[in-house]
A and B are shown apart, each in its own frame.
Chain A
Amino acid sequence: MTILHTDIFKIASHHRFQWEEAQQSHVILFPEGMVKLNGSAGEVLSLVDGKNSVDIIVTTLKQKFKDVKDLETDILSMIKFAHDKAWIEKIN
C-alpha cells in the first residue's frame, strides 16, 4: 500500500502502544507478542492517534527534528512498515 499524505491511521485494535519506563522506549503490545521500538519509530507512532493525518505527522516531526535529512522518506517508510505489520489501521 502506498502511504498518502491525507491518510489517517490509528493504533490497531487489540494492540496497545505505550511508553515503558523500565525499557526507556515505546512498545507495542498485542496478543502473544510485543515489539520494543527504537526512538524514531516511537516518535512516529506517538503521533498516530486516529486524528493526525500523515501530513500533520510529517510537519510536526520536521519542526521537531530540523537537522535530520530525508526525514519525510523515513517517516513514510516507518508508517508503511507499521501498517504492513498490522500495528496500525487506516481509518479514512
Chain B
Amino acid sequence: MVTQNNGVAASVTHTQPLWLLAEITYRCPLHCAFCYNPTDYDKHTQNELSTEQWMNVLRDARKLGALQLGISGGEPLLRDDIEEIVVEAKKLGYYSNLITSGVGLTEKRIQAFKEGGLDHIQLSMHDITEEINNFITNTKTFELKKKVAAMIKNHGYPMVLNVVIHRYNIGHIKEILDMAEALGADYLELANTQYYGWSLINRNQLMPTKEQIDHAEKVTNEFREKVGSKMKVFFVVPDYFSDRPKKCMNGWGEVFMIVTANGDVLPCHSARVLPNIEFPNVRDKGLMWAWQDSPAFNRYRGDSWMKEPCRTCPEKEKDLGGCRCQAFLLSGDAESADPVCSLSPNHPIIEKAIEDAKNPTLQAQPILFRNDKNSKKILSGEAKDLIKDFHAVP
C-alpha cells in the first residue's frame, strides 16, 4: 500500500512519480513572508512554459505513473490557460488540485474548472483577523478569501483549507479551527512553517516557541475529538522541534516530481539551492529521462551517498537522513545528516536557531516580504547580509 498523509505505513517497491506538482508560475499577487518559493524566483518569471509545453508535461508524467496533479505557483490563476490544463488533466485521468490564494478566482473561472473536471481547490487562509492576514501576506486580501471560500463550497467542491502557522497566528489556533468549521471545511491543513526560501530568511521573525507549538497541537487534538470525522485536520509538526528529521518528500525521486514555471524538473520544491547539480529541463530531454536517468534524480536515491552518522544508523530507512536542502542550507554540506537530527554533529545550528528566534532584537528586524523588488535585491547581491548565514545564495 502506498499512502500519503493518512497515517498508514508506506512502502514503495519501485519508483514512479505518483505526484506531479506544476509550479506553473512564480508570479504572485501576495507577498507572504513565509513563502517557500526560491528567493531568486524573479529570474524565472519571463521564461514560463507555454500551454502546449504544459500539456506535454501532463501527458508524459501520466505515462510515468503520475496521478495526483497539483497546480500551484506563485498564484496559478495569474495564467489564463488553467481552464485548458484542467480539461487535459481530466482527460488523462489525473486527480487534480488547484492550490490557490483565491486571488483571481471568479464565478466564471470556477464554473469552467468544475465543468472541465478539476477535482478540488485548496485555498490558503492566514488568520481570523484582517490585521494579521493583511500583514503577513503584505496585501489586503482578507475579505476576498472569505468570499472565495463560499464560492468553492457553493460549487460543490470539498473545502480544503491550508493555513501556514507561524508566530503571528499560532496564538489564534482555536479561532482558526472554529473559522474552518464555520466555513464548512472538509480538510484543514495546519502547516507549521518550514524554513526554506523566503521563510528561511525571515526565520527569526516567524518561528514560534516550543511551548506555543505544543499548546497549538493540544488545542488541535481537542478540536479533532469534538468534530470527529466530519473534518480531517492535519497538524504538520515543525521539524526544528523534533529529534529526528522528516523523511523529506518520502525520499528523493521516489514519488514526487515538480515541474517549475520555466520547465526545470525537480525532486522537491527547493532542490535548486543545492550546488553542483544540474537539474533537467522539460525543454531538453523530456520527463522520462529526467525521472529515470538524469544524474540529478539519481543523486540521492538509495543510501550509498550517505555519510556518518546516517550510513550506519539503524533508523536510516525511516528518514533517509532527512532533507538534503536543509542540510545544505544550514551546514553547507548537502550530504551530511539533516541538522534537525539530534545525532547530527550540526545539530547545534538548530538549537541556536531556536534560541535566536527568542531574541527580541532579532525578532524585531524588518521582514523581507516575497516580492519582485526583494527578489531582484537578492539576485543583485544587495541583500546579501540577510542571507549570509544560509547557503541559499542564488
What residues make up the interface of A, taking CB atoms closer than 8 Å to B? 13-14, 16, 18, 20, 22-23, 27, 29-38, 85-86
Say yes or no: A38 contacts B2, CB within 8 Å: no
A19 to chain B, nearest CB (A): 9
Convert B189-232 into 0s and 1s, putting 1 for each residue whose CB lies closer than 8 angstroms to a CB of A.
10000000000000000000000000000000000000001000
Q: Which 5 A-B pairs have the closest CB atoms?
A: A22-B65, A29-B95, A14-B158, A36-B2, A31-B120
Chain B residues in the interface with A (C-beta under 8 A): 1-6, 8, 16, 18, 63-65, 67-68, 93, 95, 97, 119-120, 122, 158, 160, 186-187, 189, 229, 234
Q: Which of B4, B63, B67 has the most CB of A within 10 A?
A: B67
Instruction: A31-B158, A34-B3 are known; give 5 further A-B pairs, CB within 8 A.
Output: A14-B119, A22-B63, A31-B120, A33-B3, A35-B3
Question: Closest residue to B119 on the A side, CB-wise?
Answer: A16
Judge whether A27 and B120 touch: CB under 8 Å.
no
Known contacts A14-B186, A18-B93, A23-B16: does B4 contact A32 (CB below 8 Å)? yes
Q: Give chain A residues whose Cβ lies under 8 Å from the Cβ of B3.
A: 33-36
A43 → chain B, closest Cβ, in Å? 15
Q: Is the CB of B97 within 8 A of A86?
A: no
CB pair A32–B65 under 8 Å, yes or no, is no
Contact pick for B95, options A16, A22, A38, A85, CB 8 Å: A16
B187–A20 CB distance below 8 A: no
Which B residues touch A86, using CB under 8 A?
Answer: 229
Chain B nearest Cβ from A80, distance in angstroms: 14
B97: chain A residues at CB < 8 Å are 31
Which residues of chain A are near B2, meaning CB under 8 Å?
Answer: 34-36
Pick the contact of A35: B8, B160, B234 (CB < 8 A).
Answer: B8
Residue of B1, B63, B186, B234 near A38 (CB, 8 A) is: B1
**Complex CA distance for A32 and B64, rounded to whole angstroms:** 20
Q: A34 and B68 in contact (CB under 8 A), knowing A16-B95, A22-B16, A23-B16?
A: yes
Distance of A32 Cα from B3 Cα, bound (Å) = 10
B6 touches A31 (CB 8 A): no
